[in-house]
Structure 1
Amino acid sequence: MSRIRVFIAVFSILTLSGCASQDTALRKQAELESRLESLALGSNLSNQRISSLSNEVRDLQEQRKQDTATIREMRDSIMNLRALTDEILTNKSTSPTAATPQKIEVINKEDTGAQPQKIDVPSEAYLKAFGLYSADKYEEAIESFNAFIKAYPDSEYAANAQYWIGECYYSRSDLPKALDSFNKVISNYPRGNKVPDAMLKAGYTLFAMKKPENARPLLESLIAKYPDSPAAARAKEKLLQH
């Protein structure tokens, strides 16, 4: 009987020890599972934060591109206005080449039933056409500049008018016609003050037409012929980008 009691006591102790060990293991397992859940939750939050930051970075990059494009457009507009001012100041003291200037008709398409306006002074006709360009009325500006060149082929503004025709086509993304207009400035008015600008924009146009093999030599020629001109400085910037 005493042996049976001893056996029962030992069995009870072992059983209790096993239960205690099992409880400890279960607690440790629960703790590990809790930690894993915390890590998983933290990982999800980190991934969400990283994704959010990535989206913010992309938005900032896109905004930067838009701001850069806006700044470039503003700079081009300022340079265009500055070019017009320089043209007026340069040519103001120049006497007309013809004794009696011809008349040119400048028609405002928005007017209905109005008679065409007769303008006797070439500079006024030129400014009228440039005003249409500045107002983004490119089709009307092209017609006015062409009419000006036809009426005043020997005017000091003729080369400038041809140049702005090219700018009109360039703004409309009509690259072949833009290139043709800029080339006319270079070939028809080789001593004109718009030749450097025409060479620059012809180079821009060739790059836009995916013809870098033609654009680079042209801009390099511009830099060599007119090293101190603003157009040469912009040509250097363009070459660095390509």
Structure 2
Amino acid sequence: MSMTPPFGTSVALRRGRGRGGGVFLVTALLISSGCAMKGDVKRLQDEVAGQAVRQEAQLEDLSADLQDLQDSLQVQSAIANEMVVDTRGGLARQLRDLQTQQSQMVQLIGQIQREVAMMSQRLQADGGRVTTSTLRADPDSLGALIGRGGGDQADCEQIWGAAIIQFNRGSNAAARAGFNGFLRDCPEDERVARSRFNLGDIAAQQDRPDDAIEEFLRIVQLDPEADEVPLAQYRIGLLYLEQGNAQQARTYLELVVNSYPDDPVAELARVELQGIR
């Protein structure tokens, strides 16, 4: 025998689709069939209440998990941003370091090029003034040659040749004695100015700057028309510059530039003056 559910049963069935829907459905059917006892209803109600509590707890746990996940994502995002910023900053620092190194390399290359050019110009300026002897001379006989007297051309050639050989060897003490002997025995020789210049060069090499300046000044004073004068004045300027006397250095370097503008050594003087100003 079929029974028609009483009014309200369909509502209960529809509501039963929510939380604890299965329990509500059973409860509704029992009530509609008139078979439900009070104890059964109570048990069902307790079960529904317990299931609701469990579901609420599960929802709370799920919400907490979602919050933890959100917090973790925010922390990871912040760390990622910091890493990106740090990476960009590191790249920027590396780029600046490379640019600094490049600038230093360019300056160093420019300095080397200037020094090479100056050495070349010095060789050109000094090359034409180098005097050698046309006679063969025994440099070991220098002591015997000096002070022999006479001062004839042959003796002057022998003394000059021996002194030049010692000078080129780097035997400065023997070369110095030879050039001094040459000045004493051959005072009228055309190589007197060159001999004084070599004596000034030897003094500079022996760290006797005052003696070197004195020898170079003698060339200017005793033979102002000598070819060695521009280079002698230039060397005086350098020696004063090494001593820290910029004013005196400028005086002699400007003298070279103004008095001998077409001489190769004038360009060297201009370079030095740029460093002083």
TM-score of the pair, normalised by structure 2: 0.62
CA 1:140–1:59 in 2, change beyond 3 Å: closer, same or farther? farther
CA 1:207–1:32 in 2, change beyond 3 Å: closer, same or farther? same
* Alpha carbons 1:106, 1:125 under 8 Å: kept: no
Question: Rg: which structure is higher?
Answer: 2
Specify the code of the residue in structure 2 equivalent to 1:7.
V
* Alpha carbons 2:122, 2:268 under 8 Å: kept: no
Structure 1, residues 99-123: CA drift from partner, whole Å, max 9, x if none?
xxxxxx9753xx9xx9846892534
Aligned ranges for residues 109-188 of structure 1 at < 5 Å? 116=144, 120-188=154-222
Q: CA deviation at 1:163?
A: 1.1
* Alpha carbons 1:106, 1:116 under 8 Å: kept: no
1:228 to 258, 262, 268: 262
SS at match of 2:129: helix
Higher relative contact order (CA 8 A, sep 6+): 2
Separation (CA, whole Å) in 1 of partners of 2:143 and 2:244: 45
Which residue in the other structure is 1:9 paired with?
A: 55
Which residue in the other structure is 2:41 paired with?
A: none
Q: CA deviation at 1:197?
A: 1.8
Specify the code of the residue in structure 2 equivalent to 1:172.
Q
* Alpha carbons 2:219, 2:228 under 8 Å: kept: yes
Separation (CA, whole Å) in 2 of partners of 1:170 and 1:158: 19
* Identity, % of aligned positions: 15
Separation (CA, whole Å) in 2 of partners of 1:22 and 1:219: 81
* Alpha carbons 2:257, 2:266 under 8 Å: kept: yes
Which residue in the other structure is 2:16 paired with?
A: none
Task: Identify the range of structure 1 (167-176 vs 2-11) with the bigger mean alpha-carbon deviation.
Answer: 2-11
Specify the code of the residue in structure 2 equivalent to 1:192.
A
The RMSD of aligned alpha carbons is 3.9
Separation (CA, whole Å) in 2 of partners of 1:137 and 1:46: 57
Separation (CA, whole Å) in 1 of partners of 2:126 and 2:100: 39
Unpaired runs of at least 5, structure 2: 1-45, 147-152
* Alpha carbons 2:139, 2:163 under 8 Å: kept: no
Q: CA deviation at 1:161?
A: 0.5
Q: CA deviation at 1:154?
A: 1.3
Separation (CA, whole Å) in 1 of partners of 2:100 and 2:139: 54
* Alpha carbons 2:139, 2:162 under 8 Å: kept: no
Separation (CA, whole Å) in 2 of partners of 1:24 and 1:225: 86
Structure 1, residues 158-191: CA drift from partner, whole Å, max 9, x if none?
0110011112222333211111111111112223
Unpaired runs of at least 5, structure 1: 93-104
